[in-house]
Structure 1
Amino acid sequence: MTPTGPYYPITTTEKGPMWRKLHSQGVPGHGSQPYGRENAVIDMAAAITRLVQSPAPVRISDEWRAIVETGAFGELSEMLVSEDLVDEAIEILAATDVGLARWVHALTHMTFSPNIVHGGVKSNVIPDSTEADVDVRVLPGHEVDDVDDHFRKALGDLYDRIEVVPAMDDYVANSSPSSGLLWEAIGDGLQAVEGTRDRFPMMVTGTTDSRFFRQRGTVAYGVGLYEHTLKPSDFAAMFHGNNERVSLESIDRTERLLFETVAAFGRRSATG
């Protein structure tokens, strides 16, 4: 919702996944004699702590500016497009809506989330190896070197003892233009279902198969309508979280929007 009424997000841009796998090595031994031992878990714990405590790189992208320009953030708008002030603005948002603050943080920062850690074989054996998976997401303009440079900076002297390797193929952020035949057809669909063409290009923090279509030069958008009572922060919290679901109302509204969009695309295509 904006000061002038509802604005509907159409996903045009996705952050890029550049997951990393971390490996640490130690020397095995009996857990009853830990003094002076090289414990792989200790190095990994220290590395993860440094990574999450190191300030994440900020980038104010054109895609983020387009979101802020809808007017949805009111008096915080100027702060939210400043690399020097955006973190302060996020803290202000967190005081009343931590979910919204989390979303804003992800759309203005390269993010690092250590989500899997494996180490050790038995409670009384000092581990000789530990492995961690870190979900790294990059913004438009970030490259592979930016990710690797941040790991070096964050880990400091631990970097020489922690092996950091790609966990999957690296993908930069990807997007489709907010213009053209399909973009206008989506506007027609919204007009038919919601009575307005007001929409804006949205960047999302996750990854979909759209990146594969875009690699091949195909326009790809994320389009859907959800129940009016669902706050954006509550919607975002459901992804891979507790009570993850899609409501029947959302399915019905999205089906009607897609039907009208496809019909409009056909009409526009026929007339050139």
Structure 2
Amino acid sequence: MIPVEQLCSELIRFDTTNRGRGDSEGEREAAEYVAAHLAAAGLEPTLLELKPRRTNVIARVSGSEPGLEPLLVHAHLDVVPAEPADWAVHPFSGEVRDGYVWGRGAVDMKDMVAMLLHVLADWHAQGRGPRRDVVLAFVADEEDNGDYGAHWLVAEHPELFADCGAAISESGGYTYHVGGVHLYPVGTAERGTSHVRLTARGRAGHGSRRNEDNAVTKLAGAVQRIAEHRWPIRLTPAVRAFLERSGAALGVEVDLSDVDGTVARLGKAGPLVESTVRNSTTPTVLRAGYKTNVIPSTAEAEIDVRVLPGTEEELFAELRRLAGPGVEVAAISPQGPVQAPIDSPWFEAMAAALRSQDPQAVVVPYCLGGGTDAKAFDKLGILGYGFAPLWLPEGFDYRGMAHGVDERVPVEGLHFGARVLDHLLTNC
């Protein structure tokens, strides 16, 4: 059987760069590679495309208890761009050295794809399988808007997933070393991605003349007010549970009337929650004018807006107030926040799978600051959990690996993750 690190290395060698806005190398070759391994494991994969080369692979593993709700496991095949000159190794070499597999996608998220293929091959070799049906979706375009991947599949092929009760995918189940404690955060919620465009309108004119209806001035004021606004604390169930359970495990005082202080006392665990105790609005794009001596009639800005579950109405009302008169606020491809139950058999099964390989595991829920394809499958009522398990050595900057330079994943971590996935998929 092919070692999991070799599978990961070979997947990284497929350049599936997604530059956004439809500009992509495409996932076709990686999808065909995955499909070949699925077929070798006795499955019948289906390849689906909205656009040539933007390929998705779907397969289903039959369980021994067909009355149980199926579990969806989804992983994306595309990756963000990488500049080879910045890396110690070529980002698409898949080089294995110093106990790591190096390359773009090593943790985001071709590692998960490799672990799944390894588990399926092991099942096939040993004549084993899961209790419940497992639906597998290896998708395109997660690193942009999912228009060729999960969101398209949900819109055009919902029957493939209609009976699934829950789903697992990236951003959770990895080791986080804090003061000798092995924390394993499992994603049970995600902030929504509700980016907005501000459009200021005014009177065009000559730059040398007084103009009190200047669109650029209006926009600049709006952007500054939004950037400087301190959004209030809003504790969602996932964030509250993270604070309480992590604090108990670490022996840290948890004072929910002083959340910022509690986050600070969590030390190295603080970064896991600091971005999700409140909403965020970060200016990222400005557009105005075409000539220095001409005052334009319009000016635009784009704001990266991340919104917690249950706070959308409050946030947009405040955004419109901060923008002020003469500045329109419009959503750009909004994808709402999602959350799944913490105290559920699904979560308990993931915790048990982690403890089967690390008896010291302290499994805690958390809310993702960004987003994943869970937002697409949520439209079908499928509960989404962030669970792509890895063992990570102390000091390993996992959160800095995704989209970063010299992205890599520990070989030992891949073997651990494959065993955890095997346990979960076999027993849940």
Question: Which of 328, 333, 342 matches 1:163?
Answer: 328
Question: What is the distance in 1 between the residues matched to 2:371 and 2:425?
Answer: 26
Distance 1:111 1:2, change over 3 A: same
| Residues 64-93 of structure 1: CA deviation (Å, up to 9, x unaligned) | 121112226755521xx22xx334666x67
SS at match of 1:198: strand
The match for 1:63 is: 238
Is the CA contact (8 Å cut-off) linking 2:189 and 2:368 kept in structure 1? yes
Alignment of 1:124-163 (within 5 A): 124-143=293-312, 145-155=313-323, 159-163=324-328
TM-aligned CA deviation for residue 248 of structure 1? 2.6
Q: Which residue identity does 1:229 align to in structure 2?
A: E
SS at match of 2:384: coil
The match for 1:30 is: 206
Distance 1:111 1:247, change over 3 A: same
Distance 1:164 1:75, change over 3 A: same
Higher relative contact order (CA 8 A, sep 6+): 1
Q: State TM-score, norm by structure 2.
A: 0.51
Alignment of 1:119-268 (within 5 A): 119-143=288-312, 145-155=313-323, 159-171=324-336, 173-223=337-387, 224-225=389-390, 227-230=392-395, 235-236=398-399, 243-244=404-405, 246-249=407-410, 252-254=412-414, 256-266=416-426, 268=427
| Residues 112-149 of structure 1: CA deviation (Å, up to 9, x unaligned) | 11111111112232222111111111112213x21222
TM-aligned CA deviation for residue 61 of structure 1? 2.2
Question: What is the distance in 2 between the residues matched to 1:260 and 1:170?
Answer: 30
Q: Which residue identity does 2:225 align to in structure 1?
A: R
TM-aligned CA deviation for residue 188 of structure 1? 3.8
Question: Which of 192, 217, 221 matches 1:42?
Answer: 217
Distance 1:183 1:61, change over 3 A: closer
TM-aligned CA deviation for residue 252 of structure 1? 5.0
Q: Which residue identity does 1:205 align to in structure 2?
A: G
| Residues 243-268 of structure 1: CA deviation (Å, up to 9, x unaligned) | 3454231x6514532443234432x2
Question: What is the distance in 2 between the residues matched to 1:26 and 1:209?
Answer: 39
Unmatched runs of 5 consecutive residues or more in structure 2: 1-176
Question: What is the distance in 2 between the residues matched to 1:28 and 1:73?
Answer: 59
Unmatched runs of 5 consecutive residues or more in structure 1: none
SS at match of 1:132: strand
Higher strand proportion, which one?
A: 2
Aligned residue pairs: how many? Answer: 249
Higher helix proportion, which one?
A: 1
Cα RMSD (Å): 3.1
Is the CA contact (8 Å cut-off) linking 1:188 and 1:260 kept in structure 2? no
